Amino acid sequence: MTHIPISVTVDGALYEAEVEPRSLLVHFLREDIGRVGTVVGCDTSNCGACTVLLNGRSVKSCSVLAVQADGATVLTVQGLAEGDGKWHPVQQAFKECHGLQCGYCTPGMVMSTVDLLQENPNPSEDEIREGLEGNLCRCTGYHNIVKSVQFAANMMGGTK
């Protein structure tokens, strides 16, 4: 099969590769460049576990072809922490508020939360639940996830 050259900035580093036209972004991230923090939950875009920020907006990376990311900037959960290892406020909030149990959905929840708080720094509980609607968790019942988002909003300057 013919491969197509792509150039993608992932977590601040430029990656150039040749990919099959049908390769999904999630597989490029995990298999080609080792960003395994982005997990494959369902491979059907139902669960949201593979959510990343593509040019600053959350997308389910199992529903994006790698060639569609050519020239784009991708931020994964692994790229959120600062260079000194300090966690992003959203990551810290999920830890502090126990917004995870098995942790499988957590990368997608965290990335969706980052996008949500960029758009709406002071979301209400209903807005949080709506903002995370495309992300499924089978463990927590969402209570502590919502608490985590509220805590992160407060850490980042929100007031609700």
C-beta of residue 77 within 8 angstroms of C-beta of residue 115: no
CATH numeric code, 89-155: 1.10.150.120
pLDDT in tens, 42-65: 878 899 999 999 999 999 999 999
Q: Which CATH architecture has domain 4-78?
A: Roll (3.10)
Min mean pLDDT across 61-65, 74-78, 84-88 is at 84-88
pLDDT, position 74: 98
- 51: closest CA among 119, 127, 132, 124? 132
Most confident of 8-12, 82-86, 97-101: 8-12
User: CA quadruple 44, 88, 66, 120: dihedral positive or negative?
Assistant: positive
Boundaries of every domain in the chain: 4-78, 89-155
Tokens for 111? 């990335």
pLDDT in tens, 94-136: 999 999 888 899 999 999 999 999 999 999 999 999 999 999 9
pLDDT, position 160: 47
What predicted TM-score, i.e. pTM, was given to this entire model?
A: 0.94
pLDDT, position 159: 53
Q: How far apart are CA 26 and CA 69, in angstroms?
A: 11
Sheet with 4-10, edge to edge strand ranges: 13-19, 4-10, 73-75, 51-54, 57-60
Q: What's the burial of 70, exposed, middle or buried (CB within 10 Å: 0-12/13-18/19+)?
A: middle
